[in-house]
Chains A and B, each alone.
Chain A
Amino acid sequence: MNAFQRIGAVVALGLTLGACATITPVPAGPMAVKNEYSVTLGRMWSDVSPILVGRSKKVRVLSIDGPFLNRLYVTEGLVPGEGLVRSTVKERPTPMIRSGMSANERMEFVADSIAAMEYQRVEASAPRPAKFGSANAIRFDIEAKTPEGLDMKGTALVAEAAGKVYVILYLAPAEHYFAATLGEVESVMASVSL
Chain B
Amino acid sequence: MRTRIALSLTAALAIAAAPTAAGAQRLSGERPSAGSVEEGFWTASDKAERAARTSAELNTDPALNAYVRGVACKVAVEYCGDVRVYVLDRPFFNATMAPNGYTEVWSGLMLRASNEAELAFTLSHEVTHFERNHFLEAWNAEKNRQNAMLALSVGIAVLGATAAVNSGSAEAARSIMDATGNLIDVVYLAGMTAFFRFSRENEAEADALGVRRMAAAGYDPRAAATIWTAVRDETASSQFERTRKSEGRLNVFATHPLTRDRIASLEARAASLGAGGDDGRARYRAAIRPHLSAWLRDDLRRRDYGQTLFLLNRLAVGGEDLGVLEFYRGEAFRLRRQDGDLHLAEEAYAAASAWPDAPPQAFRELGELRRKRGDVAGARVAFETYLARAPQAEDAWLVQDSLQSMGNPT
Seen from chain A, the residues whose Cβ lies within 8 Å of a Cβ on chain B are 3-4, 7-8, 10-11, 14-15, 18-19, 23, 46, 48, 51, 53, 63, 65-68, 90-95, 98, 100, 102-104, 112, 115-116, 120-121, 125-129, 138, 145-150
Contact = CB atoms under 8 A, between A and B. Distances in A.
B55 A93 contact: no
Contacts of B395: 103-104, 127
B190 A7 contact: yes
A103 B163 CA distance: 44
B175 A66 contact: yes
A66 B174 contact: yes
Given A4-B148, A18-B179, A91 B243 contact: yes
Give the 9 A-B residue pairs with the shortest CB-CB distance, closest first.
Answer: A145-B56, A120-B56, A66-B171, A149-B54, A91-B240, A149-B56, A51-B175, A93-B303, A66-B174
B99 interface: no
Interface string B240-281: 101100000000000000000000000000000000000000
B51 to A, nearest CB: 7
A11 B183 contact: yes
A145 B368 CA distance: 31
Contact of B175 (A10, A23, A146, A148): A23
Nearest to A126: B394
A93 B240 CA distance: 10
B182 A125 contact: no
A176 B93 CA distance: 37
Nearest to A3: B190
B344 interface: no
Contacts of B176: 18-19, 51
Interface string B351-391: 00000000000001000100010000000000000000000
Contacts, number: 105
Nearest to B169: A23
Contact of A15 (B58, B170, B183, B304): B183
A23 B243 CA distance: 38
A127 B183 contact: no
Nearest to A121: B56
Given A120-B56, A147-B57, A148-B55, A90 B242 contact: yes
A7 B51 contact: no
23 contacts: A11-B156, A11-B187, A15-B156, A18-B163, A18-B180, A23-B171, A46-B171, A51-B179, A66-B170, A67-B175, A90-B242, A92-B303, A93-B303, A94-B303, A98-B337, A112-B301, A116-B301, A125-B394, A127-B394, A127-B398, A129-B397, A147-B57, A149-B55
A53 B337 contact: no
B190 to A, nearest CB: 6
B160 A7 contact: no
Interface in B29-79: 51, 54-58
B186 interface: yes
B178 interface: yes
Contacts of B57: 120, 147
A66 B176 CA distance: 11
Contact of B56 (A92, A94, A116, A146): A146
A3 B187 CA distance: 11
B152 interface: yes
Interface centre among B175, B243, B303 (most CB of A within 10 A): B175
A147 B174 CA distance: 18
Nearest to B365: A104
B172 interface: yes
Contacts of B13: none
Interface in B135-193: 148, 152, 156, 159-160, 163, 169-172, 174-176, 178-180, 182-183, 186-187, 190
Contacts of B169: 23, 46
Contacts of A15: 156, 159-160, 163, 180, 183
B231 to A, nearest CB: 16
A81 to B, nearest CB: 11
A150 B57 CA distance: 11
A51 B179 CA distance: 8
A53 B56 contact: no
Given A4-B148, A18-B163, A120-B57, A53 B182 contact: yes
Contacts of A7: 152, 186-187, 190
A63 to B, nearest CB: 7
Contacts of B190: 3, 7
Contacts of B397: 127-129
B240 A90 contact: yes
Contacts of B240: 90-91
Interface centre among B148, B169, B172, B186 (most CB of A within 10 A): B172
Contact of A65 (B152, B171, B182, B337): B171
A98 B364 CA distance: 19
